[in-house]
Chains A and B, each alone.
Chain A
Amino acid sequence: MNPIYLDHCATTPIHPSVYEAMKPYLTTTFGNPSSVHKAGVVAKKAINDARESMARLLHCQPEEITFTSGGTESINMALKGLAEAYPNKMRIITTKIEHQATLKTVAWLEHKGYEIVYVDVDHKGLVNLDMLEKSLNQKTLCFSIIWANNEIGTIQDLNKILTICHRHDVLVHVDAVQMIGKTDVRFDRYPIDLMTWTSHKIFGPKGIGALYVRNGIHIAPLIHGGGQEKGLRSGTENVKDIIGFSQAMTLSYLHIEEKNRHLDMLSRTLFERFQSIVDVSLIGASIGCDRIPGHLSLCFKDRDAFQLSLAFNRKSIYVSTGSACHANSLDLSHVVRALPENDLYQQGMIRLSFAHEQSVELIDEIIQRFQEI
């Protein structure tokens, strides 16, 4: 039975051209970018070229991009780094549907004396903008928001959020891990202050991510040492993965609208096929509207989502659940629990996420295997 991978919001395979771009840096081009000889200088130039290429895509300055080990580190760096740099601002606003990297970081800051305010979301997961505006004051360090939610797929109205926060001189940190490659992220269109993203969601390697910090905003480093990445992230650079990341970014910006139309078609077709045979509901925003293209978060009536995901696995269909391990028992995900109460959600949720190269013919096979469960 051929595996059907429907978990592209968890991670993606490395694109062949990304792999090709990385290869020399695994073999012949191995110099330390800090070394002042030809082998080192070649590696240094490769990193700076990669950074410049990404900056061109994002419409920002290369020095505004810092490479990290991934989304989690970038989020830690953004929030703890801001906190350290602006010690008079002890209030952070966020939501309860953030990734654990944000929630655990703000919990750590709360332990250090910060006031953390969680803005409500509606049944689709969209931020309550009135509550957001009321929560902002002169003591607010930043608002940290997940642009597109990994579990329920909801995409926030970022420009409205930015307008509100900037009206109150509050910085905005955006977790764009699920959004890069799904929209033309450009800082001239979205005046974001800090942004986190990662490589392995866009057909790049794991273990590499980035943090954008707009010029003029200060953050303190978390990692001290040799002063790489302009002192913000010491440690010998992960050259091969930076190169792969840059190539993956370039690919992700090609034909975005065309890819999104195809992804929406795939998820809509699969959802309608499920609906024709079982009682199933979509959590979050509607397909094609404020939702990650190719992303389905589904509740199957009277079917335990976690057990269903294991049954999918036995049919070689790889999906994800929002289930979490809590005190050695299975719990609903924190994202689902943060939504306004709905009995529908008690069985949990399954997430299926397509890649643009998957074809509609796959859906017949998915349905056939599902009916055998």
Chain B
Amino acid sequence: MKNIIHIHTKDGKTIYRGSMIHMPFKKRAIEKACIDLFNDPDPCIIHQSYAVSHFVEIMEKRYLDHPVLNLSLKDEIDTLHFLDIPDLEQLFLTVEVNS
């Protein structure tokens, strides 16, 4: 089962479409996660990747256990603080499930 994340505007214009792991993540959020997860202020690429994986895990738990269609991200800003996508609060999320 592969899940495609689709972040789009209200009128359907695609801002991001792809896998969770390849979403744009804020560098500062990754650094902060590395401090939270292993108290490392200067993480190597392997540990940065682990932090990204941690973000993916958060999203998987929140969005993959039920159908998500045109979910307004206005109320998801705190959860998705790590995404490097401008004007996130004005966008919508749809999860496409490909078996």
Contacts and interface: CB of A to CB of B under 8 A. Distances in A.
B53 interface: yes
Contacts of A329: 45
A325 B53 contact: no
Contacts of A311: 21, 53
A371 B45 contact: no
Contacts, number: 30
Contacts of A371: 1
A310 B60 CA distance: 13
Interface in B19-48: 21, 44-46
Nearest to B57: A314
Size category of the B interface is 10 to 19
B49 A314 contact: no
Contacts of A372: 1
Nearest to A307: B21
A240 B40 CA distance: 30
Nearest to B52: A310
Interface string A257-279: 00000000000000000000000
B3 to A, nearest CB: 10
A345 B46 CA distance: 19
A325 B57 contact: no
Residue of B52, B53, B57 with most partner-chain A CB within 10 A: B53
B44 A325 contact: yes
A328 interface: yes
A330 B46 contact: yes
Interface string A301-331: 0000011001101100000000101001110
B72 to A, nearest CB: 26
Contact of B60 (A314, A323, A328, A330): A314
Nearest to A325: B44
Given A307-B21, A314-B60, A372-B1, A328 B45 contact: yes
Interface string A223-244: 0000000000000000000000
Contacts of B57: 314
Contact of A310 (B1, B44, B53): B53
Closest 3 CB pairs of A and B: A310-B53, A325-B44, A314-B57
28 contacts: A306-B46, A306-B49, A307-B21, A307-B49, A310-B21, A310-B49, A310-B50, A310-B52, A310-B53, A310-B56, A311-B21, A311-B53, A313-B50, A313-B53, A314-B53, A314-B56, A314-B57, A314-B60, A323-B46, A325-B45, A325-B46, A328-B44, A328-B45, A329-B45, A330-B45, A330-B46, A330-B49, A372-B1
